Amino acid sequence: MGAVINKKPDQNLGRTVVKGFTHGALGGYLIFESKRLVRKFGSEKNYNYIWPSKIVNAAGSSIIENAAANRELWERWHLNLGFNHIEVDFKDKFKVSYRIMPFSLLRTLYLFSKARLDIDRSMVFGILVFNQETPEILEEGRSSRGKAYLNHILLRRGMHQSTEAHEIIHTYQYEGFSGINTFFDSPMSRLEQKSKLARIYNKIFYTDFNAVFSMSIYNFEWERKGYWENYFEKEARFFSY
C-alpha cells in the first residue's frame, strides 16, 4: 500500500506492487527472526541475545519502511533508541541524521513522572526500562508484572526473563508498524514547501504515527477479544516462553 501511495507518476504500477510486496516480505521475515532471538533469551536466560535481536529488528523495520516509501532496499536504515530516531541515508553520501519521536517522548516523560529509570537494563536492552514496586498504578488497578509503553518498558522490580521478553515483543510490535509513517511523506513534503515552521519541525522531529496506529489496533483487539485472546498478547506470550 505504501509503495503504491508513494509511487512516482512514471513508474509501472505492477512492478511497484511486486517490489513493495517482496521487499516488505523480506523485512517481515527479519522481524520474525528478531522475535525468535527474543524467545531464545526468554528460554535460555541469556541477555547476549537482546542486542542482536534489536539490530535484526531494526534492519527488518528499515526494509519495510523503504518498501512502503517506494525506496530501494538499501537506501535508508534507522535505529530507535528510546525516543531517539537515528537514520543513515546511504543514497545521500552516507548522511546520518538524528530526530526525536514525539509520541515516544511523551511516553518517556510520563514514565519518568511515575517510576524510576533502570539505567543498567536500559543499556542492556537498548530501550528505556523503568522500575517500580507495583505497576498497578499505571494499570488502572489490574495486577501486572510489566507493561510496554510504545518502545519503553515498565517492570515490577525482580521480574524474571520471560516477563522481560514478553514486553520486548510488545516494543517490536510498535516498531513493526513504522511503515505506516511513510504514508504521510507526500502530505508532509507539501506542507514543508508552504511552511517554514513545518520545515523546522521535520528537522527536529520524526513523527511516529505508528504509535497512534498500533495503540488503536491494540485497543480494538482488547475490546473485541479481551486481554488473553487478543493477537498482540498471544504473540508476546508465544515468543517469551
What SS3 class is residue 9?
coil
User: Three-class SS string for 164-179?
Assistant: HHHHHHHHHHHHHCHH
Q: What is the pLDDT of residues 170-199, one digit of tens each?
A: 999 999 999 999 999 988 889 999 999 999
Residue 146 CB neighbours (<10 A): 20
The percentage of residues in the chain with a pLDDT greater than 70, rounded to a whole number, is 94
Would you state the pLDDT for residue 84?
96
- Between the CA of residue 187 and those of 24, 38, 166, 182, what are the distances in Å? 22, 36, 36, 10
What the block records as the C-alpha cell of 113 is 513522572
What's the predicted TM-score (pTM) here?
0.91
Nearest residue to 208 via CA among 156, 152, 167, 164 = 152
Instruction: Kindly report, residue by residue over 199-237, the tens digit of the pLDDT.
Output: 999 999 999 999 999 999 999 998 988 888 899 999 999
User: For 15-29, 90-104, 130-144, which range has the lowest pLDDT when averaged over its residues?
Assistant: 130-144
Domain ranges in the chain are: 2-238
